[in-house]
Amino acid sequence: MKINHRKFASILLILSMLAVLFMQVQPSAAEGEYILLDMFNTDLAAGSVHGTSAEPIGGTRTVTDTNSKISIINGELDFAAGAVANDGLWGESNNRTSGRAFLWKVAPSDTNGIINIGLDTNTSGAVNDRLVFAGGGVLQIVPNGGTAYPVGAYTAGTYYVAAVMRTTGLYWFINGEAFADWSLICITAAGTAAGLPAMTAGSATSIFKVDDMRIPNIVWLPTPLAYDTFTRADGAIGNSETTGPDSQTTPSLAWTGGAISSNKNVITPSLGSDVLLDGAMENWISSTNLTSWVEEISGSSTVNREASDIHSGTYATRIDVDASNSSTGITQYPSVVVGTWYKASVWAKANVVGRSATFFTTFATKYLSLTTSYVNYFYTGRSAGGYYGFGRSSSVSSSLYFDDALLEPLTLSSLFSSVSTSDTDVIVDANVTLTARTQAGLVTNLDSTSSPANFLIAYHDGTNVYLDKNVGGTYTNLISSAQTYSDGATLRVITYTSSGSLKVRVYYNNVMVGSEQTVSDAGIISNTRHGLFSTYSGNSFDNFTLFARGTGDEYGDLPDEITLPTHTPTNTYTATVTSTATETSTPTETFTPTATMTGTISPTVTFTDTATATLTETVTPTFTLTFTPTITGTPPTSTATAMMPTPFYNSEITYGDIAVLGVNSMLLMTLLLAFMYWLITRRPQRGQ
């Protein structure tokens, strides 16, 4: 079969050119790994950043820069002093996707200004969901346009911030300076909108730099230590759930204490024996003198034995209060253990509406708003010693009735429902519903379920939020703050280790309570059991959530978590191609003339002479192909770990680089050979 060499060469040349074109349009590593990767590679003067493209990938930057204070210098977005509040840069919108991570490198020059980093719903005004580097070195979270609350502290330096979308809300992480590992600093539960990555100045004194703004293509969610909605049949509590709050796989941990009731965790304390003497008020020396109680009388008010209007038994106590509301009551000094939790109760009523009584317990003085029927009034609390009794409050010209009083100790180990983990530093929260005059909340760093003696408890009693520590059986109050109670509101405790001590923060309904506390007691800081605390069976808990704080590098798998060099290396591959084609043509031609001569000779001879011309050409091409990789950049000197990487730019040639270089070389060589073949075959043959 005859081959048309020129057509074959042309086809080979076209295919080689298409191969090279295909090679050039292949997506880069950044395009495959990131939705957004803005390294701010090209310097731009202040006032000219708006409308430029993220580098190397991620769409268009939107910038508001009223006073021309935002520029790109040496590969960083630079905010100079004098910016108008809420001026900044926004990326393009990203749909709400659970596990979508947004990351920034942030470098405040001091703690005087305000820096806002987060996700916005538009490109102007305050950033909707934001981490705030606030004045005075305070880190704050603003959830979904709500009220800012503190979550930590910062100094001038370099930080890496990550906001990870939940179905509703965000997980917030920070790394850098005092945060040696990726640390979970806040979990918010508000907001379902799409998000534009944003960074803005909060004041004219804000001086900072931002770099490495990125959105990895891979989705990622932190794994809880435990999570439980308690959605299962009533009865034994069993284990925590295997699916987390955002559908992530979660360890199933065994609960100790508590039970399921109507899809809630309910703790039923064990009650000891009543320590009152004659709490039923059955024993009287006379009609006005109780055997085991002391009568306190003034004015014309009196204490009386009541035989007709009783709750149970034979007698009750009736206090008749005069028109002057003179002080009157009964008391006793029971034998109690200081520091033990007790339940104090009494059945009481008044003969007319609108009257009140005073209830003296060994842990607090309470006031009872009485009705005209017997009602059981009860309180729980921790005994400080002292007396127990009842008296008038606002009870002018009325009769008050008391019967069947009790003071019962609560078994401490029965007040907890906890799980065992391997972490001392945690973020733990739950939705708490409680009965006024009792306590319900969280326990952290508990040493034992059977003989608890060292732990922290944070709880609400309907009026205040408290943080107490128990060391060797002795309680110390650390925080006591009035906080408006709301059914089902979230109580949260955050602990983390710093300089050998445990730092503790308490939040109620997304408001920080009191100030950060330092706990240095050896009996507490190494304990790894955490859970719930309650002094009454009518209290309940829902949506228990337990995460590691991250101080043990529990979030080392967060996207982009590797060592970040302190430079931006550039890998440049310079391919030098030297093509030396030497064409040697040595033609060999033989001419044999052809002629026909006819003559008549005797005898007759006819002869024919033929001449043949043959052309022989020899072409010897010589090619030299040289590829010289040139690497620019300074080897990294940073020893910091757990920072965001620059995988698209690497200071060393990787196997992937070599593979790409080899493929590129082969394609280029194919192109050159095809071109030379085409040059050779395009010469027309002689005689054609």
Q: Confirm whether 312 is domain-assigned.
A: yes
User: What pLDDT, in 10s, does the model give residues 616-656?
Assistant: 444 444 444 444 444 444 444 433 333 343 333 333 333 33
User: Do residue 322 and residue 362 come from a single domain?
Assistant: yes
Question: What per-residue confidence (pLDDT) applies to 7?
Answer: 61
Question: What per-residue confidence (pLDDT) applies to 527?
Answer: 98
Contact between 249 and 116 under an 8 Å Cβ cutoff? The reply is: no
User: Do residue 308 and residue 290 come from a single domain?
Assistant: yes
| Total-model pTM | 0.79
Q: Where are the beta strands (DSSP E) in 554-619?
A: 570-582, 595-598, 606-609
C-alpha dihedral (169, 173, 174, 180), degrees to nearest 10: 160
Kindly report the CATH number assigned to the domain that includes residue 137. 2.60.120.200
Closest CA to 503 of 206, 208, 185: 185
User: Do residue 83 and residue 12 come from a single domain?
Assistant: no
How many distinct structural domains can be found in the chain?
A: 4
User: Do residue 88 and residue 169 come from a single domain?
Assistant: yes
User: What pLDDT, in 10s, does the model give residues 392-429?
Assistant: 999 999 999 999 999 999 999 999 999 999 999 999 99
**Which two structure tokens, joined as six digits, stand for 354?**
């609108």
Q: Confirm whether 586 is domain-assigned.
A: no
Peptide bond preceding 216 in cis form (omega within 30 of 0): no
Q: Confirm whether 263 is domain-assigned.
A: yes
Helix (H, G, I), strand (E, B) or coil at 335: coil
Contact between 579 and 623 under an 8 Å Cβ cutoff? The reply is: yes
Question: What per-residue confidence (pLDDT) applies to 592?
Answer: 44
User: Do residue 370 and residue 448 come from a single domain?
Assistant: no
User: Do residue 69 and residue 166 come from a single domain?
Assistant: yes
**Which two structure tokens, joined as six digits, stand for 494?**
């955050």
Question: What per-residue confidence (pLDDT) applies to 364?
Answer: 86
Task: Profile the chain (688 residues) by mean pLDDT over runs of 10 residues.
Answer: 58 57 49 88 97 95 97 97 97 96 97 97 96 97 95 96 97 96 95 96 97 95 98 98 97 98 98 97 98 96 98 98 97 95 98 96 92 97 93 96 98 98 97 96 98 98 97 97 97 95 96 96 98 98 98 89 39 44 45 44 44 45 47 41 38 37 52 59 50
Intra-chain end-to-end CA distance of the chain, in Å: 19
**Which two structure tokens, joined as six digits, stand for 576?**
């030098």
User: Do residue 200 and residue 235 come from a single domain?
Assistant: no
Question: What backbone torsions phi and psi does residue 65 show, to the nearest 5 degrees?
Answer: -140, 75
Cα separation, 230 vs 443, whole angstroms: 18
User: Do residue 12 and residue 87 come from a single domain?
Assistant: no
Cα separation, 140 vs 562, whole angstroms: 26
User: Do residue 416 and residue 398 come from a single domain?
Assistant: no
User: Do residue 90 and residue 209 come from a single domain?
Assistant: yes
Task: Find the domain containing 43 and state its range.
Answer: 32-216
User: Do residue 467 and residue 319 come from a single domain?
Assistant: no
Cα separation, 562 vs 366, whole angstroms: 58
Kindly report the CATH number assigned to the domain that includes residue 486. 2.60.120.560
**Which two structure tokens, joined as six digits, stand for 189?**
């539960």
Q: Confirm whether 7 is domain-assigned.
A: yes
Closest CA to 240 of 222, 258, 214: 258
Q: Confirm whether 555 is domain-assigned.
A: no
HEC-encoded secondary structure of 89-105: EECCCECCCCCCEEEEE
H-only helix segments in 25-56: 29-33
Cα separation, 593 vs 679, whole angstroms: 33
Q: Confirm whether 481 is domain-assigned.
A: yes
Beta carbons within 8 Å of 223's beta carbon, 6+ residues apart: 244, 248, 249, 250, 251
Question: What per-residue confidence (pLDDT) applies to 686?
Answer: 46
Helix (H, G, I), strand (E, B) or coil at 66: coil
Question: What per-residue confidence (pLDDT) applies to 98?
Answer: 97
Longest CA–CA separation in the chain, Å: 187
Q: Confirm whether 557 is domain-assigned.
A: no
User: What pLDDT, in 10s, does the model give residues 449-460?
Assistant: 999 999 999 999
Closest CA to 255 of 231, 236, 233, 235: 236
Closest CA to 241 of 547, 554, 543, 541: 543
User: Do residue 211 and residue 230 come from a single domain?
Assistant: no
Residue 620 burial by Cβ neighbours in a 10 Å radius (0-12, 13-18, 19+):
exposed
Q: Confirm whether 221 is domain-assigned.
A: no
Q: Where are the beta strands (DSSP E) in 45-178?
A: 56-57, 62-64, 70-73, 76-79, 88-90, 101-108, 115-120, 129-134, 138-142, 149-153, 159-165, 170-176
Question: What per-residue confidence (pLDDT) applies to 169?
Answer: 96
Beta carbons within 8 Å of 236's beta carbon, 6+ residues apart: 259, 260
Beta carbons within 8 Å of 118's beta carbon, 6+ residues apart: 127, 128, 129, 130, 131, 142, 163, 198
